Structure 1
């Protein structure tokens, strides 16, 4: 029998910040499935769990956070409340550090002693997850220098070889799609393959980084069918994760929006799983995870593929619900009626702006305000909940474009809005041609962005500043504009801070959309681990097949 490797796959992203951050990690599942199919042995360690939240937040921290949170809306107490939040955040940071060092790392080292893995792979998240992963990797390397340490994940898709400027703890960095690369790296870890022959990796030779060529999987049906094995992915046991399963139905995006780095990773053309393959995944995941809830993972799923999937769902009489990303391309009432009949509950539309010039020239959206209105109207008329994402203020934002976006949101009568400030992300058109879009990066842009964490669990005034300006506006000046729109929409009955998954949570947990948003925010900001566990347990019971 040929020698095969043993490995650990680790995802550490500090503390989960919302219910949807507790969903199973389909990326790690795909990698583990590829390794297992090739005969390698692996195990997933995912710390975005209810258990991790309970370990970090003590009763004392929770009670102090409640006091500070309750005073946020008291104008006379706002500054005192913000000051107290800042003080508590220091306590939480120390608590997270203690749990990382004295619990996570200690337990991992014991697991390593028993399993003796040939390599450990990290899914690197930008921010605290990146910094924490480095600490874990350093502890492993100090104790077991023979183990190969690999860093993959979204962080490398943004920063590539610059990660080596921040740390040299990783023997190899992986970028792009990992299902084939992880098998080659497993072979490398047991001296069966050379790094020079492996695609989608970055490593050092003679102190200089080498970036191997990218390779994308052309036929997604050739991927291993995702395994939802509790021995491989122990966090799936019980109610540590919330049971919405991501289905990787398509990759690539021909739209190439200027703010999005996705085409650099996944290409500018669609690659699709066959509807038959997707139905098999639905069935396997339903049975093994005991759930009827799914999210289609593609950032821009082709309409014709979605239509074929829905026909297959009905043909196989699957009783499932799913949510998806939507795009305002040519669609019809018949299309959305089919989605509704197949179990589609809600769709997130990437609107981004209500101004034609911003849409066309600043964002390259390849759609119009009229098409967006039509698509969302058809969606809602079919009985599917609709929510939309906005980026405000965009580069080139004017008072007129702001008012156009404001008006569009009111006209749509949408179920919710996810409102974001503009992100300048490596690999996007905005980043690559920053001068054209009047974007100015700080001198320490890369080091700050690698470690930047959006403080979802803290009030926005306590967030760190972003290391760039747009149209001369700094972080706080952009935040003011975003907040003006947010306040206006709320006053006019449009709920903000709501995405397509929030709508699904609201339905299953018997809240209104705004109540679900507020409860979700409250329990994570205050570290209410008992309520988090209660809602995850209730949701999982609601979507179970038994």
Structure 2
């Protein structure tokens, strides 16, 4: 069969803020869809995989590509902010050819399966949770015209009714999943600014699935419930080596929720990279309380050049309220270690938590500006479906008031879907801009980022960023 997979347009969701979103969100390979594509190819199907953003395709462009390919199946993966784009694609597909089977998976479908199916009749089948085993069974049933009733992890339509099957458990042997189908993507378009390298091609990779932490704003435990599962380290390094040789890519982004969660696994990986004499660099996400200076030294020797930390707040009580499980002292220490070892750092701050006030936001701004950090993302806290925060917001926890469930409004830049205590939605948007200005409009930060991106690219990016920061929201 012919299968068309698409990662919907993301940047367009930000409207006037898309310049800042493009600067802030370096293009990241849709790893989940690439795994699904590999599963389909293993079964012998013909697959097209489109990443709309990196190919700068609008919804209309995607539809034209679908018409040209004439697939039997169209599959879309969607988070909440891009659900509107995903929905537009699926609706257009059904108008073009009602016989095409449409499938929606990803975080949004997993968080709100019944609601999503009820609200969008253009979805034939919903896939909940990890999809690789599910879609393999599903495609086999479609090919053989068999019933879906025993396929775990799906919702489907039968006799004008929505049938919701039992959820599938976590995939235990993640090493058995075929490697991502990178060859279907335009890998050369995933360009990042990398320390000591300049602008280079980067690809995403993972060594684990799942997260043991319970931050209230995160929905990862809805998508990947249960214990964290690890890939065999030799197979992770096999993939690094294979991609390096086939695609000439030598910088990797580890998409694990916490790269340093299992120190022994990390050390084993570093040793294997050294043993094979791989000339690569890499980066990843981590937590301040899962690293030591010794571990950072080991990582740096293996090729680590950058770590991203979730800071979220500089107020100790709010950190407790959001179940972050770290302290401001741990954050300070982590940034100091990285600075001493010349490991570049990024941070992410969220404003608009439960119990948040103007005073606590100001405290957070002062805290992030005190850190040895040169790049910061400032997000308006958004209660995504699947997170504990989504439920708490509807219960007015910590002074929260949920303003809308219009999913296209659920974006990080220039918009707020909650208000709390003495902070209105407009206050939060203004404070986001203020936080960015206070962090980035410091001489040493400006100079660092201009040098890092290259003076020409840095200047262009800075102009786009400043235009956004000085533009008031338009309704």
TM-score with structure 1 setting the length: 0.74
Deviates more, 1:187-196 or 1:170-179: 187-196
Of 214, 221, 225, 2:175 maps to 221
Number of aligned residue pairs: give it.
445
The equivalent residue for 1:326 is 286
Of 356, 366, 369, 1:410 maps to 369
Cα distance, 1:254 vs structure 2: 1.0
Cα distance, 1:27 vs structure 2: 1.6
Of 141, 153, 157, 1:188 maps to 141
Of 417, 423, 427, 1:473 maps to 423
Cα distance, 1:295 vs structure 2: 0.3
The equivalent residue for 2:186 is 235
Taking the aligned partners of 1:132 and 1:331, their CA distance within structure 2 comes to 39
Alpha carbons 1:161, 1:209 under 8 Å: kept: no
Cα distance, 1:267 vs structure 2: 2.1
The equivalent residue for 2:330 is 371
Cα-to-partner distance string for 1:28-63 (whole Å, 9 max, x where unaligned): 2111111222333322122223453xxxxxxxxxxx
Alpha carbons 1:13, 1:130 under 8 Å: kept: no
Taking the aligned partners of 2:231 and 2:451, their CA distance within structure 1 comes to 30
Cα-to-partner distance string for 1:134-188 (whole Å, 9 max, x where unaligned): 3433343344333211111233134322222432011111121111112122112
Deviates more, 1:197-206 or 1:511-520: 511-520
The equivalent residue for 1:169 is 122
Is structure 2 residue 155 aligned with structure 1 residue 202?
A: yes
The equivalent residue for 1:518 is 462
The equivalent residue for 2:473 is none
Alpha carbons 2:117, 2:162 under 8 Å: kept: no
Give the SS at the match of 1:433: helix
The equivalent residue for 2:340 is 381
Alpha carbons 2:250, 2:280 under 8 Å: kept: yes
Is structure 2 residue 58 aligned with structure 1 residue 46?
A: no
Alpha carbons 2:382, 2:411 under 8 Å: kept: no
Deviates more, 1:343-352 or 1:43-52: 43-52
Cα-to-partner distance string for 1:323-364 (whole Å, 9 max, x where unaligned): 11011115322211111111111111111112211111x211
Cα distance, 1:241 vs structure 2: 4.1
Cα-to-partner distance string for 1:465-514 (whole Å, 9 max, x where unaligned): 54432236332122223333333334555859xxxxx97x974x534997
Distance 1:386 1:14, change over 3 A: closer
Of 385, 396, 401, 1:440 maps to 401
Higher relative contact order (CA 8 A, sep 6+): 1
Taking the aligned partners of 1:285 and 1:479, their CA distance within structure 2 comes to 41
Give the SS at the match of 1:482: helix
Alpha carbons 2:80, 2:385 under 8 Å: kept: no
Segments of structure 1 that go 5 or more residues without pairing to the other structure are: 53-95, 497-501, 526-546
Taking the aligned partners of 1:489 and 1:15, their CA distance within structure 2 comes to 23
Taking the aligned partners of 1:513 and 1:309, their CA distance within structure 2 comes to 34
Is structure 2 residue 193 aligned with structure 1 residue 257?
A: no
Cα-to-partner distance string for 1:294-322 (whole Å, 9 max, x where unaligned): 10001223242333222211111111111
Alpha carbons 2:8, 2:86 under 8 Å: kept: yes
Taking the aligned partners of 2:458 and 2:190, their CA distance within structure 1 comes to 23
Q: Which has the higher strand share?
A: 2
| Aligned pairs (5 A) from 1:258-407 | 258-301=216-259, 302-304=261-263, 305-360=265-320, 362-398=321-357, 401-407=360-366
Distance 1:241 1:403, change over 3 A: closer
Cα-to-partner distance string for 1:395-444 (whole Å, 9 max, x where unaligned): 212455334423322332212211111111122222223333322223xx
Cα distance, 1:384 vs structure 2: 0.4
Distance 1:258 1:454, change over 3 A: closer
Taking the aligned partners of 1:377 and 1:303, their CA distance within structure 2 comes to 22
Distance 1:14 1:299, change over 3 A: closer
Taking the aligned partners of 1:46 and 1:427, their CA distance within structure 2 comes to 24
Distance 1:380 1:199, change over 3 A: farther
Give the SS at the match of 1:146: coil
Aligned CA-pair RMSD: 3.0
Taking the aligned partners of 1:40 and 1:354, their CA distance within structure 2 comes to 50
The equivalent residue for 2:5 is 9
Taking the aligned partners of 1:307 and 1:473, their CA distance within structure 2 comes to 45
